[in-house]
Amino acid sequence: MTLQTDIDTAAAQLKGKTPQEVLTWALGNYKNISLASSFGAEDVTLIDMIAKIKPDAHVFTLDTGRLNSETYDVIAKVQQKYPQLQLRIMFPQAEAVEQMVSAKGINLFYDSVENRKQCCFIRKVEPLGRATKGLDAWITGLRRDQTANRSTMETVELDGDRNIAKINPLIDWTNEQVWDYIRANDVPYNALHDQNFPSIGCAPCTRAIQAGEDLRAGRWWWEMSNQECGLHVTSDGRLVRAKDV
Ligand code: SF4
């Protein structure tokens, strides 16, 4: 049986299951599995759910060096509330960052799409590659209604670039369900969410959104056409989906 067949079978079996049921299955089924967390609302929701199933589960985060202080505050609160969690904080390669900012300036991303992609590659995509190396599966907080691009994603998919499973337990949840869970379970969350930041990335590349705007409209707002950073995109620029392989 191929990995794709396994994943298709699992996806069919997990249809209609709760996020906790999906997580219980995933944490029991894969030996080397980790949650990728940026400590946004969806990720802290998953952290709370995971900690109740397997308190010493693995979580990794990408510290790009350009995060908001509110993001570091919520990381500290999560570490305090869930002390058994195995949190791995990934940093970019110092030499690559030094070369990039020396050659192109500290805020190079505003100058061109090419520069923004280079910065995202060095600060996020390359560290993500190291964080997922050796994993059988990774868990994300993606939701189908976050962007049109994510509307076709599944609960369990094949990450074709890494040839591992990608688990999206909240894919069917709405923003309201996430916030109901956070409030009901007293989950620590990023204070920027209270200032109209539904999606939080690096400080210079994220702004608050206006009423009626897309939930990810505050990311790389000056480009208008691209609200994905490359973490959920294949090497040839497509979104990772089961049908992509
Ligand atoms: S979001 Fe902005 S600062 Fe962060 S890695 Fe991408 S371009 Fe660089």
Q: Which domain holds residue 27?
A: 3-94+128-244
Residue 123, domain member (yes or no): no
Q: How far is the CA of 129 from the centre of ligand 1 (A)?
A: 16
Using the CB atoms, write b or e for 205-233: b if 16+ within 10 Å: bbeebeeeeeebbbbbeeeeeebbbbbbb
Q: Which atom of ligand 1 sits closest to the CA of residue 115?
A: 7
Decide: 124 in ligand 1 pocket, CB within 6 A: yes
Q: Which atom of ligand 1 sits closest to the CA of residue 123?
A: 5
User: Which pLDDT band, with edges at 50, 70 and 90, does 243 fall under?
Assistant: very low
What total number of domains does the chain contain?
Answer: 1
Give the three-class secondary structure for 58: strand
- The letter for the amino acid at 239 is L
User: If you search the block for the tokens 């693995």, which residue do you land on?
Assistant: 58
CA dihedral 27, 30, 32, 35 (to 10 degrees): -40
Residue 101, domain member (yes or no): no
Residue 53, domain member (yes or no): yes
Residue 110, domain member (yes or no): no
Q: What does the block give as tokens for 58?
A: 């693995």
The residues annotated with a catalytic role in the active site are 229
Q: What is the DSSP letter of 143?
A: -
Decide: 119 in ligand 1 pocket, CB within 6 A: yes
Rounded to an integer, what distance in angstroms lies between the CA atom of residue 243 and that of residue 165? 13
Q: What is the pLDDT of residues 131-172, one digit of tens each?
A: 999 999 999 999 988 765 666 788 999 999 999 999 999 999
CA-nearest residue, atom 6 of ligand 1:
120
Q: At what angle do helices 41-53 and 175-184 cross, to 10 degrees?
A: 50
Mean pLDDT of 36-40: 97
Residue 235: which CATH number? Answer: 3.40.50.620
Residue 105, domain member (yes or no): no
